[in-house]
Structures are given as structure tokens and as C-alpha cells.
Structure 1
Amino acid sequence: MGDPNANGSTDAPCETTGLTQKQKDAILTSWNLVRQPDAKTFKQHGVDFFLKFFAENPSYQDLFSKLKGMSAEELKDSPKLKAHATIVMYNISTIVDNLNDPETLVELLKKVGHDHQPRHVTPAHFETLATVFLEFIGEKLGSHLDAFAKESWSSAFKVINAVVKQSIEARVQESA
């Protein structure tokens, strides 16, 4: 198997993502803490994330036709929110698990943008999601998320959002 960084150094950034191996390792280590201790807790983290996301951005809830108009209390127990939150959490896991396979990672991210554009989700929505996610993971992990890991996540989201943005814009052009 080849070196995950095209230039052969674990401290040098990957040509595709700009992330170093140390950054990728910090992301994986912190995400593995989110995945623990079991699937039920992991899924609940997804619900908790969306509750925070919608509390901070109430208008974004309207982008979800099946969740539109639900109160925070209704959302907590909504099987529809739990299902979507579970999908998102596993998608994040797939992204994290493919940080060392940049070609696959890019294709996964293109699919995210492609799938969200018809639902009127914009690059700005993804940027807001990244901000809330960084706050959320910091709250969940506390001192287990050090400054380097947090900055690594921030760097990863810059790449994630750039690819998603390109994909959304490409889909808009296809539709024109």
C-alpha cells in the first residue's frame, strides 16, 4: 500500500486534502471517541447535534420537509430525525475513515453536494454546519479534544466544504 501522503512525509500535507498525517490521526482519534461506547450512544450524538444545529439555526429546519414545523421537544423523539441523524453520523464516519484515501474521499464529498443541491442546501449551510459541528464535538469531548485536534477538524472542514461547494455548483450548472 502506498504512502497516504503523495510526497512521502507524514508531516507534509497531502496533495489532495492539504492535511498532514498527524492531522488525520488527530481527527480519527477524536472521532473514535465520539463513536464510543456503542451504536446507541453514537446515534444519540447525531440527534443531539441536530438539536443544537436547529436551535442555533431555526430556519435550517425548514429545509427538512419531514421535520418542518416540529418543536424541539418533538424533534427529540422523532424517528425521522433519528434516522437522518444516524445517516449523517455514519457519513461522517465514512469521511473520516477515508482521509487516507483522498480519491475516494473526494468522490464521497461530491456525492454529498450532489445529493443536497436539489434540496436547496447551499455551501453556506455547510459552512454553518461545520461551525456548529466543531462546537458540538468540543462540547461532547471536552478536554479530550485538544487545540491541535480542533484545528485539524477545522482544516478538514475547509477541504470538505470546498469539494461540496464545487459539487453543488456543478449540479446547478447541469440543471441550467
Structure 2
Amino acid sequence: MQVLTIALFLGIVATASACASMAAPGTTVTTVTTSVTTVSADEESTGILSANERSLIRKTWDQAKKDGDVAPQVLFRFIKAHPEYQKKFSKFADVPQSELLTNGNFLAQAYTILAGLNVVIQSLSSQELLANQLNVLGGAHQPRGVTPAMFEEFGVIVEQVLEEELGNGFSAEARQAWKHGIHALVAGVSKTLKNPEDLADPQTKLTLHQIRDVQRSWENIRSGRNALVSSIFVKLFKETPRVQKHFAKFSSVAVDSLAGHADYEKQVALVADRLDTIISAMDDKLQLLGNIYYMKYTHLERGISRDTFEDFGRLLLDVLGASGVSSDDLDSWKGVLAVFVNGVSPKK
């Protein structure tokens, strides 16, 4: 087994300080401290990539990282290509792009990213070690709303910078190895990162994933929505008789005699159609918020309590489960119903 000695940066700490003795007042000087470790890389076909691909990635990266400008250039080009992502870096979120390359906080972040990439590259030979590193990487970025697509976009920038830095040294074979490596990285971090459809909208508090689950499962049962709503009303009125008193036109009708009562059937159809309208328009944020506000306005004056909405939601989940809706879809229904209840009847 041929042993390759690879010097990798395990930790890079960038600190910015104003040094009066070294620079003019107001000038920020970035000091980079590196710690180096040595690892042995085998040539066996273990790990996610082939031995040759691992060797190419290490070789090209070992050459490129000697230039201290690589890390800042990667991050700068990433932000320039996707300016909306700059807001995710609070310490330089509002710094003009033209000033980023001389901003201490920006440089510190660039070298921190370089350190993280070094650790991942060091772990390529071990599936277990690489998986652990990617879990840590994904876990660190998940709270910030970072998505797998962002890592893919970052990988594209890394390839571009490496190609410019290494010139002919970045061969087609090396480029392909990096593509495979970035694909492996994205696949690994995706296990702990949220996809765009799993990110909650800041206004509606719903994810696209939840909306799609609810709409899809509702489509399978919507033809029987009147019977579904009627069964919920009957259970609700039997559990809490006072709720029936909100419906003056059939408030005194025995629960078991409600079926077929004209005013009751009209109310059932009204609720079923309203439910259908709300669910069908859930992917339109303005309509969704408008429907929630309308429900709040029309029910507030009738004095219908939050408990009633919660009970209706609970019984709806029971009926959906009995209708064959999957447990995963039911979880989405729970999230959606919680948003509706909080919107229509906020906690006091």
C-alpha cells in the first residue's frame, strides 16, 4: 500500500484586530493561525469515492490551498453569484460587496469554511468518519435554514476557483473527481439539512411539504367531504352539546335526528365547501392568509371558542386516519391545523 502524506489544516482561526503599530488607524488586519495534521491515505477502494478520485481531490486541494487568497475568493464569488445568501452571515450581512475582501469578519468566515472543507477532505478514506463529519456540518448549518441546493451552488464556485488557480493542473479527470466529491458532500449533509420545501414560510408558518401532503390526501377524499364533516359535527355535538347551540336553526334538534334536516345539511355543505376552498388555495399565500382572516372575523362575533376549533381539528384527524391517510400525511395535517387554529383563534 502506497502511503500519501497529506498536510491538512484542521483548524483555521481568523481574528481581526486594529494594530496601530502595523497599520494606519482604522485599518483592519486579519491574522490567520493554522494547525497542521498529517494523515495517511490508502489506495484501496474504500469510502464513497474511488482511491484515484480521493487522490486527485487531495492533490489539487493541497496545491490550491497554498494560495491564501483561495478561501476569500470562493466565498466572495459565492456571495456575488447569490447575493441573497449574504444575509445568512450576520457579521457582514450589510457590508457592501466592494468592501467584503477587506472586511475582517468576512475573511474570518472564509477561512473557517476552508477549515471545514479541509476536515471533510481529510475524512474521504473512511465512510464512517466522513459520515460523522457531514452530520456535524449539516447540523451546524440546519438552524440557519441552509439547503442542499446552497451546498451544490457553493461546490460549483469551488470548482471554478480551483480551475482558475491551478490552470492545466486541474485536469478533466480532477474536475470529475471534484464533481463526485461535491455530490457525496451534498448527499451527506442533506440528511440533516432541510430541503426548500421543508422550510416554513415566515408568514404562514407552513412548509411546502406540509401543503402538498394535505392537498394530495384531501384530493383522495374530497368527494365525500359532506359526509366527513357531518360525522365530525355529530361527534362534536355529542361530546360537547353546548357547541350545537351556536347553530340557531338546528340547535334544538336531537343529534341523532340531524341527518336529513335541511338547515343542518346546508351548514354541513357550507363548512365542507369552505374547507375545500381553503385547502385548494393553500399554496397561494395571500389567499391562505385571507381565508384565515375571514374565518377569524366571521367566527369571532359568534363567540366560538378556541377549544371548539381544537376539538374539530382533533376529530378531523381521527376521521382522516380512519379514511386511510398515512401517518406522514397526518403529521402534515397536524401542523396545518395548528396554524389554522392559531390564526383563527389565537391563544390569549
* Same fold by TM-score greater than 0.5: yes
Identity %: 24
Counterpart for residue 60 of structure 1: 85
- Deviates most, 101-110 or 22-31: 101-110
TM-score when normalising by structure 1 = 0.82
Q: Tell me the secondary structure at the aligned position of residue 92 of structure 2.
A: coil
Unaligned runs of 5+ in 2: 2-41, 200-334, 336-348
Name which one, 1 or 2, has greater alpha-carbon Rg.
2
1:80 aligns with 2:105: yes
Counterpart for residue 90 of structure 1: 115
**Higher helix proportion (structure 1 or 2):** 1
CA deviation after TM superposition for structure 1 residue 73, in Å:
2.2
CA contact (8 A) 2:74 2:161 kept: yes
AA aligned opposite 2:124:
L
Q: Matches of residues 6-155 of structure 1 in structure 2 within 5 Å?
A: 10=44, 12=45, 14=46, 16-17=47-48, 19-36=49-66, 41-42=67-68, 44-155=69-180
- Deviates most, 83-92 or 64-73: 64-73
AA aligned opposite 2:55:
D
AA aligned opposite 1:90:
A
- Paired with 1:48 and 1:93, the residues of 2 have a C-alpha distance of 16
AA aligned opposite 2:73:
D
Unaligned runs of 5+ in 1: 2-7
CA deviation after TM superposition for structure 1 residue 85, in Å:
0.7
AA aligned opposite 2:133:
L
- Answer 1 or 2: higher relative contact order, Cα 8 Å, separation at least 6: 1
Counterpart for residue 4 of structure 1: none
Runs of 4+ in 1 over 2 A off after TM superposition: none
Cα shift readout 1:15-68 (whole Å, capped 9, x = no counterpart): x51x110000000000110122xxxx33x2111111111111111111111121
1:164 aligns with 2:194: no
TM-score when normalising by structure 2 = 0.43
Question: Given the superposition, is the C-alpha separation of residues 31 and 166 from structure 1 closer, same or farther in structure 2, using an over 3 Å criterion?
Answer: same
- Paired with 2:127 and 2:103, the residues of 1 have a C-alpha distance of 35
Question: Given the superposition, is the C-alpha separation of residues 9 and 88 from structure 1 closer, same or farther in structure 2, using an over 3 Å criterion?
Answer: closer
AA aligned opposite 2:163:
G
AA aligned opposite 1:127:
E
Q: Tell me the secondary structure at the aligned position of residue 66 of structure 1.
A: helix
- Paired with 1:164 and 1:9, the residues of 2 have a C-alpha distance of 25
CA deviation after TM superposition for structure 1 residue 72, in Å:
1.9
AA aligned opposite 1:162:
A
CA deviation after TM superposition for structure 1 residue 94, in Å:
1.2
Q: Tell me the secondary structure at the aligned position of residue 70 of structure 1.
A: coil
CA deviation after TM superposition for structure 1 residue 156, in Å:
0.6
- Paired with 2:50 and 2:194, the residues of 1 have a C-alpha distance of 28
CA deviation after TM superposition for structure 1 residue 119, in Å:
0.8
**Higher strand proportion (structure 1 or 2):** 2
CA deviation after TM superposition for structure 1 residue 169, in Å:
4.1
